[in-house]
Chain A
């Protein structure tokens, strides 16, 4: 997709279009916050302070920020192991996320879940799931509850291109369609599963969108690097869900700037591919968008500085935070708070 096309979307006159200044500033801040936090997670990994694995969303920030901005309080996010971005986008603090990645006591789950399972119910983040496809049916269930109880919230389920080839994807799509559930499935097509290009292992060119017709759904492909495009697609799908008109499947084209996980130098990518996508870096696109709308460099610089400060402060807090204590080892296996399996 050419940059010119992206530019064409911006009317260039004033700020009173369907998105408006406040939301644009919020989406800029949100994307930058994810960028800085993910970059920091990578740096901390190099310092051996982020342990275990981690899957960064560098380059995919616009999907998380665009969807989160369109969500209302009470809407539910279901994420994958590549879920830091979506967790941050729903308003969870950088400290809680970095703390969990660093496996400290101040982490979101006090080190009991780790980077792949970020969960914050109070923010509507209903879990990050590390078994490919598992959370699509779970999101259906949350949406079923909303339908049954007459609640107006929407369940939003994020996953990758590779996920479209597992059975649970197809079971969930059919299930959501026949029950007309208020759920929105978002495929972040970053062109790769772990290391294999998605095109090498998928029967159709668009792994999600080309399957939509099988479930009676509209074929929707969006520019996942343009937060405005993401926001608009999200609004439309949410309105449909809230109106009782059933699920949507959205394929957002994007690209991860880093490897699949921290262990992956991403040598399998053809030369020049990363550079090409970096020209379409979502943050770069959005900074230009703000400028086109006449937002001053000073306002942008203030956001940049405050985001960096949040990430810096969080880093220092996490470095000073204690490790989790042994007494949480056996808590919360069962609902009584403990782990007793016998008397």
Chain B
């Protein structure tokens, strides 16, 4: 057991997989000699050498296209897109190429790759370097989408993503890079498609993802301490595949559902889950499901403004308390 940062967990996760399998290669902008703009790949170049850890030009289409061609023909590439906002300049690969080739070829081709990216707000970078784009990815059939919230999940889910035979979008939250958590020694391999109950509770289910998980947990602690409301917090972790059974099971026990989403409101992941719960567990509910989201507004740069946008502990506490106690 050791306490490490989320950032170091990324390094450890990649290293674990590169050590295990020579076919795992890694490419991206400034990732090799410089160790990444978020310092989340420091030391990999020194450890695995210039053939396996490669700096690329500022060519997001070339990065993802090359990853795909390598994946189709036998490698297991990990590609880094520095900021998830840049998915917009290489979205063809994410939307049209990775997820469609297997289907269109009637199962002839494969695309086992991982796209890692820095996602989410909190760095005060403004509207083009702060977005949470999980909803951009979730809506595409053929992709898998994961967003870990803790160091141990970073390693385990990254390993699962690299070993997965499908294209996986791996969303690392920029504001979580410096956060710390306990991580066991030795190899860690988790499972895609599994949500995690991070705090059990009886009165309401709160679903959260990435940076919203620690906020939901803190809100749950306060709701218990200050208002006697006992919330179950579930880290959704994997949007595709989605662990609906864990979610439906929790709702069946608590009878109330809240989602805490950093993505802008329209078509956020919570909307899909609420619709599933409405379809399949409507009579388990004692009240309307409530989505707590970033509003449908581009993200402002100023810290005071950005802080007003994202769901906060206070907003979660207030929303849950008002919904349950009126």
A residues apposed to B, CB below 8 Å: 76, 78, 108-110, 112-114, 117, 119-121, 126-127, 129, 131, 133-146, 148-149, 155, 167-168, 171-172, 174-175, 178-179, 328, 331-337, 339-343
Contact = CB atoms under 8 A, between A and B. Distances in A.
Interface in B96-149: 96-97, 101-110, 112, 141-142, 144
A113 B72 contact: no
A56 B217 CA distance: 60
Interface string B187-200: 00000010000000
Which of A126, A129, A137, A331 is packed against the most chain B CB atoms within 10 Å?
A137
B65 A138 contact: yes
Interface of B is mostly: mixed
Nearest to B58: A171
Given A141-B67, A145-B69, A168 B61 contact: yes
Nearest to A340: B241
B66 A342 contact: no
Contact of B107 (A141, A145, A167, A337): A337
A121 B92 CA distance: 22
Contacts, number: 166
Interface residues of B, number: 51
Which of A78, A133, A178, A332 is packed against the most chain B CB atoms within 10 Å?
A332
B107 A331 contact: yes
Interface stretch (B242-250, B263-271, B295-303): B242-250
B242 A112 contact: no
Contacts of A343: 193, 241-245
A142 to B, nearest CB: 4
Interface in B23-73: 25, 51, 54, 56-57, 59, 61-73
Given A172-B65, A334-B166, A335-B110, A145 B74 contact: yes
B245 A139 contact: no
Interface of B: 25, 51, 54, 56-57, 59, 61-75, 77, 92-93, 96-97, 101-110, 112, 141-142, 144, 164-166, 193, 240-245, 276
B75 A148 contact: yes
Contacts of A175: 56-57, 59, 62, 66
A178 B110 CA distance: 27
Given A127-B72, A127-B105, 14 more contacts: A76-B73, A109-B106, A112-B104, A119-B104, A131-B92, A134-B93, A138-B66, A138-B69, A140-B66, A168-B92, A331-B107, A332-B105, A333-B142, A335-B165
25 contacts: A108-B106, A112-B106, A119-B105, A126-B109, A134-B96, A137-B62, A137-B68, A138-B69, A138-B97, A140-B62, A140-B65, A141-B65, A141-B67, A141-B72, A142-B72, A145-B73, A145-B74, A148-B70, A172-B65, A178-B57, A332-B102, A332-B105, A333-B102, A341-B242, A343-B245
